[in-house]
Amino acid sequence: MTDLKLVSSVRCFEGEQRRYEHQARTLDCTMQFSVYLPPQALRSEHVPAVLWLSGLTCTDENFSAKAGAQRVAAELGLALIIPDTSPRGDQVADDDAYDFGKGAGFYVNATEQPWAKHYQMYDYISKELIELVHKELPLNGRLSISGHSMGGHGALIMALRETERFESVSAFAPIAHPSACPWGLKAFTGYLGEDRAKWQDYDAVSLMRQGQQCPPLLVDQGSDDNFLAEQLNFSLLEETVKSLDSPSHLRLQKGYDHSYYFIASFIEEHLRFHHSYLTS
């Protein structure tokens, strides 16, 4: 018996873009996530995967529809695993704001009520979902992680905390130091409470300052991103990354903003970056 229900499947670059549904134990709700399986996986080969974490207001479908990643993933033989950004369902607590509640789980394990019952996104992604896709899909166990904005924050903290799990990590415009920006202050106070010591496990800059090592890293940030000055702390991430022993490449891309046009412009380079480590 499979733990997954196939919701949809469409042909794409000789592979398949799929959407699955399952009952998430960690989140205590029904979740959907998207997967791209390259043609190699359809020929019964077991392939490496890149886990993609999306940003605020996104679902599992934004990246698959807008980033244009499937063509390169098909060429390289990479599966793409694309979860949702929060728990879902009528029983799940929500907020009227776009940057808190549904669509804005921030990839943390909430400890405050009413969020703690369902908002266990860190454990859902890093444990339950990864175990599930490797059990149910033709994957070979080698995994890298990437993400955008809130998802870039999620990718960085998971790579820093789960160093044995990921071969490499990349991010587009990540919220690098959420403990010191409006988005993060709101989310961490709501989900984790007022004790800022509890926030540090979910803050990439803080984890690096504590000496946590990182897999090989690639970060792209647009110079014309309207969130750059207030929310993202890219320059602080640049400064902090200098303490890492692993290879790191941080690039400020002139003229690019925060949108999926930015992601689509550089996703091929990110996938090739991950492929070099996933197949080495």
Distance between CA atoms of residues 83 and 60, nearest Å: 5
Catalytic-residue membership of 149: yes
> One of 225, 248, 270, 275 is an active-site residue; which one?
225
Q: Which of 279, 237, 242, 204 is nearest to 53 (CA)?
A: 204
Q: Which of 90, 73, 93 is nearest to 81 (CA)?
A: 73
Distance between CA atoms of residues 24 and 193, nearest Å: 25
> One of 258, 270, 274, 275 is an active-site residue; which one?
258
CB distance 160 to 175 below 8 Å: no
CA 41 → CA 14, 44, 218, distances in Å?
10, 5, 26
> One of 34, 54, 126, 149 is an active-site residue; which one?
149
Distance between CA atoms of residues 195 and 79, nearest Å: 39
Q: Which stretches of the chain are DSSP H helices?
A: 39-42, 61-66, 70-76, 121-123, 130-136, 150-161, 182-192, 204-209, 234-241, 260-278
Q: Is the peptide bond before 114 cis (omega within 30 degrees of 0)?
A: yes
Name the token pair of 63: 């990246």
10 Cβ contact list (under 8 Å, min separation 6): 16, 17
3-class SS letters over 105-129 = CCCCECCCCCCCCCCEHHHHHHHHH
Distance between CA atoms of residues 159 and 170, nearest Å: 9
Q: Which residues are catalytic?
A: 149, 225, 258
